[in-house]
Every structure is written in C-alpha cells, then in structure tokens.
Amino acid sequence: MSSDLAEFIRGLPKAELHIHIEGSLEPELIFALASRNGVQLAYPSVEALRAAYAFTNLQSFLDIYYAGASVLITEQDFFDMAWAYFERAHADSVIHAELFFDPQTHTERGIDIGVVIRGLKRACDAAEAKLGIRARLILCFLRHLSEDEAIATLNAAKPYLADIIGVGLDSSEVGHPPEKFARVFAMARELGLHVVAHAGEEGPPEYIWSALDVLQVERIDHGVRSLQDERLMQRLIASGMALTVCPLSNIKLCVFQQLGEHNLRRMLERGVRVTINSDDPAYFGGYIHQNYLETAAALELGRDQLIQLARNSLEAAFTSAAERRADLARLATYCTKA
Ligand code: HPA
Ligand code: ZN
C-alpha cells in the first residue's frame, strides 16, 4: 500500500456505525479505572490482559469483554471511555458516529442506567462541541438474556429517550434468533426509535431474514453470511439495505481465517451497501482507519471503492436529509482535492 493511499484513507470523511463503546476500553484505561474504583481484576498487568486477547469465536471474546466492562462504575467512567474513543475517531476523520452501548452489562452489576446514559451523552455533546463529530447513542439488548429483561431495559431507558436514536441487538448470536425479540423491537419502533440488529455474524442467513422481516431493522450489523443465500442477496441489493461490516473483528473471532478471504469486496461489487467499522477496536487490533487500511491492502481495494465505502456509511447513517447532504458534500469536496 502506498503512503499516499493510506493518507487518503485517513482523511476520508466517514461515519462509524458499528462500534460497541465498551469494546473501545483499552487495557490501560481498564487498569486505570479499576484502580480508581477499587475493582479487582483477574489479570496482574496490562500486558497479561492484552495477552489474553486470543479469541476462537464470539463467546470467547464476550466473556473477556464483559469482564473488562466491570470497571465502569461512575458517570465519569462512561464519559472517559467514550471521550477516548472520540479522540481516536477524530484522528481517523470520523464525522458521524453511532455508538452501541449495553446497559444490561451495567445494570446487572447495580449501576443505574441513568449513570450510563448521562456519562455517554455528555461525551457525545463534548465530541460535537470540541471535535465536530456528530455523535449518537444506540441502546443494545443482550440477546442471551430474555425478552422480558430487554423490555424492562427499554422501560428503564424511557426517561432518556431524547438521548437515544435507536435500539440494537448484540451478544451471543447462535441460539438467540432475532424473533425472540419481536415484541420489544415493536415497542421500540412504536416509540419512534431506529432499529438495527446483529445478524449473520456467526448465525445463519435465516437470522438476517428474521431481522428484516420480524424486527424490521433498518441496517444489519455484520451480515457477512448473506452471500450464502442468493435470494437474500437480491433482497439486500434491491432494498439498499446497509450492512455494517467489521473486517478485523471477523478475523479475530474466526468468522474468516484471513482478511484476504473476506467477502466484503464481493458484496460491494454486487451492489450491497456495505460499510467498514471497528466493532470492538480495543480488542480486535484497530480502530476504523486500521480496518479500512488492512481491508484495502488485503482485498486490493482502489480509491473508488474506498470512496464508495465512505459514501455508504454517510448514506446509511441515521441523519436528517440536510445532515446527509452536508456530509456527502464534504466527502465530494475531499475527493476532488485529495
Ligand atoms: N457481536 C455480538 N455482540 C457483541 C459484539 C459482536 O461482535 N461486540 C460486542 N458485543
Ligand atoms: Zn458488534
């Protein structure tokens, strides 16, 4: 890869649509927060913790990810975590970010959902004011828990609905199909929230169908199993459905063995609205720029394809028509100058 192309990617105005903010907790910050809050960690050092980041599948990652999140106690902790992410995103020319957060990971430990949302919202406001990043929050339900627990979480979030743009569905996929959450997603849609869901990361194409048909999602998170089902591909292409693909995550969680085998380029060339995102950057080896960079190198993506990926992200973002126009104009200006 030429340094020119790397620089071009770095400056490309882009949206990040698939980032679990708890997955941006770097080991250094985990240790700092553990010390600040008097939380005992199972690892003796930053190095030992980082050395444990060798995953064989989604569950092996989730176990360590939920343990890492146990250091988050105060509103300031949530602010500090999100602010650290925004500084990195800004360096990667992210102009719009939609952050997933997992309230149940925290409320299960006795943390009030208001503490979580207020801390994250304050960081979003600071990102807009100080970095010029438009930042939004998407509340995710943990799919390994029951739908009743998801409904209780949505109800607990009601005082904060003005601070949330949508709901999502994450955690252990196989055995927890989207239709398990039909009622809570209907409630969320009724409240005027956007809806997305992880589907087709480890789960089969049938889960993508039910995310579309039962949950009526507006984007699919991951969705890399779509290529196994031609009728599904036709549906995605015809409807312009966006997929928030996370290439480095897919390698770390062994969804693909190597980046050169990833199907992102094939989906892009078929006309699927694919985007590139970081998922859990502290755990998977890089933030959004690193995902673009390594994917471009492994799949030999050219400038036009990289621009298409950035354009897809800006088009698939939950923005107003005026915001979308402004974002796309910014991309066009960049591309004529760069
Ligand atoms: N998949 C499912 N749930 C998650 C992930 C993921 O990649 N990251 C954080 N929660
Ligand atoms: Zn994810």
C-beta separation of 198 from 235 below 8 A: no
Residue 267, in any domain of the structure? yes
Indicate which CATH number applies to the domain containing 141: 3.20.20.140
Q: In what order do the strands lie in the sheet with 134-142?
A: 14-20, 94-101, 134-142, 166-170, 194-199, 219-222, 242-245, 273-276
> Of the candidates 280, 270, 274, 208, which has an alpha carbon nearest to the alpha carbon of residue 245?
274
Ligand 1 pocket, mutate which of 280, 284, 291 (most atoms under 8 A from CB): 280
Ligand 1 pocket, mutate which of 22, 172, 201 (most atoms under 8 A from CB): 201
Residue 160, in any domain of the structure? yes
Q: Which amino acid is at 64?
A: I
Q: Whose CA is nearest to atom 7 of ligand 1?
A: 279
Q: Quote the pTM value.
A: 0.98
Cβ–ligand 1 distance for 18 under 6 Å, the answer: no
d(C-alpha 143, C-alpha 256), whole Å: 23
Residues 127-162 as b/e (b if ≥16 CB within 10 A, e otherwise) read beeebebbbbbbbbbbbebebebbbebbebbeebee
Q: What residues make up the domain containing 141?
A: 3-25+82-337
d(C-alpha 325, C-alpha 13), whole Å: 13
Cβ–ligand 1 distance for 277 under 6 Å, the answer: no
C-beta separation of 18 from 78 below 8 A: no
Q: With 80 as the cut, is the pLDDT of residue 1 above it? A: no
Ligand 1 pocket, mutate which of 53, 171, 284 (most atoms under 8 A from CB): 171
d(C-alpha 302, C-alpha 193), whole Å: 36
Contacts of 214 (CB under 8 A, 6+ apart): 178, 179, 182, 185
User: 164-198 pLDDT, tens per residue?
Assistant: 999 999 999 999 999 999 999 999 999 999 999 99
User: 25-47 pLDDT, tens per residue?
Assistant: 999 999 999 999 999 999 999 99
User: 102-120 pLDDT, tens per residue?
Assistant: 999 999 999 999 999 999 9
Residue 65, in any domain of the structure? no
- What amino acid positions are annotated as catalytic residues? 201
Q: Whose CA is nearest to atom 9 of ligand 1?
A: 20
Specify which residues 245 forms β-bridges with.
Answer: 276
Index of the ligand 1 atom closest to the CA of residue 253? 7
Q: With 80 as the cut, is the pLDDT of residue 82 above it? A: yes
Residue 9, in any domain of the structure? yes
Q: How, if at all, do strands 134-142 and 242-245 pair? A: unpaired
How far away, in angstroms, is 57 Cα from ligand 2 center? 13
Residue 56, in any domain of the structure? no
Residue 76, in any domain of the structure? no
- How many domains does the chain fold into? 1
Cβ–ligand 1 distance for 20 under 6 Å, the answer: yes
Q: Whose CA is nearest to atom 4 of ligand 1?
A: 171
Residue 282 CB burial class (10 angstroms; 0-12, 13-18, ≥19): buried
Residue 64, in any domain of the structure? no
DSSP state of 332: H
Tokens of 193: 């929230």
Residue 226, in any domain of the structure? yes
Q: Where are the alpha helices (DSSP H) in the chain?
A: 3-11, 27-37, 46-51, 58-68, 75-91, 103-107, 113-126, 147-156, 182-190, 205-213, 230-239, 247-252, 264-270, 281-284, 288-299, 303-316, 321-337
Instruction: Assign 320 a pLDDT band (cuts: 50, 70, 90).
Output: very high
d(C-alpha 338, C-alpha 332), whole Å: 10
